[in-house]
Structure 1
Amino acid sequence: MRVIAGKYRSRQLKSVKSDLTRPTTDKNKENLFNMIGPYFDGGVVLDLFGGSGGLGIEAMSRGMDELYSVDKQYKAFAVIKENVNMLKIDNAHVLKMDYRKALMKFNDEQVHFDLVLLDPPYAMKINKDIIETLAKQGNLNDGCTIVIEDLKEERIEVEAPFVLKKEKDFGITIMQILEYRGN
């Protein structure tokens, strides 16, 4: 696994040695960033189910200013920390906690995001609740891009204040790109 483009281009990333984590392939990562960018002019990114941290690190490499990467599994947390430290990314917050606790923390601290990456364990059926919670709490900046990767049968029905910008099938999975229009 490697960083595809930007500041950390071609740098190898460590991956989690666990059946509990499913890393996004380099090809899917490249497809994702071609769909949403491919480069950014600053902003704050949330990678809520960080795994090895590859998606959030890729966003930082492509121009985001600050990263919040969350995973409740210790092995994943440790690998994200290692990858962030190896690349010397100073403005990364790596959190070992359940996503619900992370959402409460973001509410308490009034953290605002410009990009949200959601790739939870398949079939949890939580993506819609997560984005609605982030919106209700005021954690999404107007125009925030939200990327959801899940099983095709878990495709969410998009309603205001979210707008479906793009959608792409990848075999058994689907990637949905949403924009938050809350203001």
Structure 2
Amino acid sequence: MRVIAGELKGRQLKAVPGKTTRPTTDKVKEAVFQVIGPFFQGGAVMDLFAGSGSLGIEAISRGMDFCVFVDKHPKAIHTIHENVKGMEIEQQTEVFRADAFRAIHAAAKRELQFDLILLDPPYKKVDYEKFLNEIVKLQLMKQDGIIYCEHDMSEKLPLKHDDFLLLKQENYGGTVGVTIYQMN
């Protein structure tokens, strides 16, 4: 696993030990960032269900100013800290061990808003529409903000939403689905 582009390009990332996480492949990461970036002129990102932190670190490498990483598993939190330290981006990050739903509520209490939210939970364990609705209700997205959802292809994410425009819905390798929304 590595950073694909930007300031940290080519740097190696540690994976979370064990089989509880499934890292986003380089192929998927590159395709996704071509849609949502590929590079950014600053901004804030929230990486929910962060695992190793690979997606959030990629966003920082490509120009985001700041990332909030959230995961509830201790091994994932340890790995995120190792990766952030190894990339020397500690000043640009916050790492929280928390349930993702609780974390978005905590972010709302702090009146944080994001240009990009990365939603890559364990497959078939999360109600994406519930998360989308809660993100809108809590006003976590900036104008034109983007939400990236990675999911099992058997999970059908909404093609229409009152508050989001569907930018892309793609199948990668027959099993991985990616749906990208932008705030209306």
Aligned-pair CA distance for 1:27: 1.4
Deviations 1:88-123 (A, max 9, x none): 111101111111220121111111010011110000
1:38 matched to 2:35: no
CA distance in 1, matches of 2:84, 2:177: 28
The answer (yes or no) to whether the contact 1:3–1:57 under 8 Å persists in 2 is: yes
The answer (yes or no) to whether the contact 1:23–1:52 under 8 Å persists in 2 is: yes
CA distance in 2, matches of 1:101, 1:35: 29
CA distance in 2, matches of 1:116, 1:107: 13
The answer (yes or no) to whether the contact 1:125–1:154 under 8 Å persists in 2 is: no
CA distance in 2, matches of 1:21, 1:152: 17
Aligned-pair CA distance for 1:48: 0.4
1:176 matched to 2:166: no
In terms of mean alpha carbon deviation, does 102-111 or 68-77 score higher?
A: 102-111
- The aligned residue for residue 169 of structure 2 is 167
Aligned-pair CA distance for 1:34: 1.2
The answer (yes or no) to whether the contact 1:148–1:176 under 8 Å persists in 2 is: yes
In terms of mean alpha carbon deviation, does 94-103 or 62-71 score higher?
A: 94-103
The answer (yes or no) to whether the contact 1:4–1:10 under 8 Å persists in 2 is: yes
After superposing on structure 2, the runs of 4+ consecutive aligned residues of structure 1 that deviate more than 2 Å are none
- The aligned residue for residue 53 of structure 2 is 53
Q: What is the alpha-carbon root mean square deviation over aligned residues? A: 0.9
Q: How does 1:99-114 map to 2 (within 5 A)?
A: 99-114=100-115
Q: How does 1:117-136 map to 2 (within 5 A)?
A: 117-136=118-137
CA distance in 1, matches of 2:83, 2:126: 29
- The aligned residue for residue 65 of structure 2 is 65
1:19 matched to 2:22: no
User: Structure 2: any 5+ residue segments left out of the alignment?
Assistant: none
User: Structure 2 length normalisation: TM-score?
Assistant: 0.95
Secondary structure of the 2:157 match is: coil
Instruction: Report the residue type matching 2:181 in the other structure.
Output: L
CA distance in 2, matches of 1:50, 1:93: 12
Instruction: Report the residue type matching 1:32 in the other structure.
Output: V
CA distance in 1, matches of 2:19, 2:133: 29
Instruction: Report the residue type matching 1:151 in the other structure.
Output: D
- The aligned residue for residue 83 of structure 1 is 83
Aligned residues: 181
CA distance in 1, matches of 2:38, 2:30: 9
Deviations 1:30-55 (A, max 9, x none): 11111211101111001101000000
- The aligned residue for residue 115 of structure 1 is 116
